[in-house]
Amino acid sequence: MSSLICVGCGTQYPPTNVPPARCPICEDPRQFVEPSGQQWIPLERLQKTHRNVFHKKGVDLWGIGTEPKFAIGQRALLVQRPQGNLLFDCVSLIDSDTVELVNSLGGLTAIAVSHPHFYSSMVEWSHAFGNIPVYLHEDDRMWVQRSDSCIHFWHGETKPLGDGITLIRLGGHFPGLQVMHWADGEGGEGVLLSSDLPQVCPDRQHVSFMYSYPNFIPLDAGTVRHVVAALEPFRFKKVYGGWFGLVVEEDGEAAIKRSAERYLKYLENSPNSAKVVSFEKAV
């Protein structure tokens, strides 16, 4: 039996001799099924056609992505810390070379995945490093396609993981979408690992807030205000999006606030209106 992976979204399913009839994650409005239909690939074949690449992104921070691009094409982020390394988000490919390189960087003690689009092969990754815990928010339990004892669901709005690292439930894109705040990152100036929400824009000066990115469905104003309010207690200089190259390098907190103001302006007012919605007043 093979652990088949959805080619569309990269989610790994339990070992089976028969491909799944459908991928609920792809059929959801936040993703899509290719015109050619649902396709599957065994992990063993993916290991032969693709490879993972590692890029140093900052002090004690590494990006891990797959080449050539597979499925959604996101990157994972490996945080090195004295208490044990953490992986935020995940990719579908895991192989012996990846395990060897991660171990050379200090191994892994835990994984946290932002939302269902990036669940990918999280169980396979956990098993490769000794069945380490995978932290997901309870509100997204229904989207887990491969259940396993390594998965730990948490409740509430924040979950500390030690060494100044905190998971924050923002919701919006998915009810349990979580980001990771790393207080000690960037020499103590703070780092936000955001994945899909807030989504770093190509200008790397702004972020956006979407329910569905491929289908261009925006989030409502109330949810955007909630996202910004949930991040208000946390200090951070940089915001790392879910793909290589999408990083807000400076004034991450200010970038999120001004982006929310811009977003609310276009959502609630005519694009040609002279009225500007102040985030402070909107709250």
pLDDT digits (tens, 9 = 90+) for 105-117: 999 999 999 999 9
Binned at pLDDT 50, 70 and 90, residue 63 comes out as very high
Please state the rounded mean pLDDT for residues 173-179.
97
CA distance 164 to 156: 18
pLDDT of residue 272: 55
Continuous H helices in 82-231? 96-104, 122-128, 185-188, 221-231
Give the fold, CATH level 3, of 4-14+51-282. Answer: Metallo-beta-lactamase; Chain A (3.60.15)
Judge whether residue 211 has pLDDT over 90: yes
Q: What is the mean pLDDT of the chain?
A: 93
Confidence of residue 270 (pLDDT cuts 50, 70, 90): low
**pLDDT at residue 283 is higher than 50:** no
Residue 184 has pLDDT above 70, yes or no: yes
Does residue 175 come out as left (phi exceeding 0), alpha (psi in the -120 to 50 range) or beta?
alpha
Residue 86 has a pLDDT of 98
Q: What would you measure as the largest C-alpha separation in the chain, in angstroms?
A: 62
pLDDT attached to residue 100: 97
CA distances to 65, 93, 118, 119 from 52, in Å: 5, 7, 16, 17
Q: Is the pLDDT of residue 164 over 90?
A: yes
Long-range contacts of 149-157 (CB under 8 A, 24+ apart): 150/123, 150/126, 151/122, 151/123, 157/230
How far from chain centre, in Å, is Cα 80? 18
Check whether 20 has a pLDDT greater than 70.
yes
pLDDT band at 274 (very low <50, low <70, confident <90, very high): very low
Confidence of residue 279 (pLDDT cuts 50, 70, 90): low
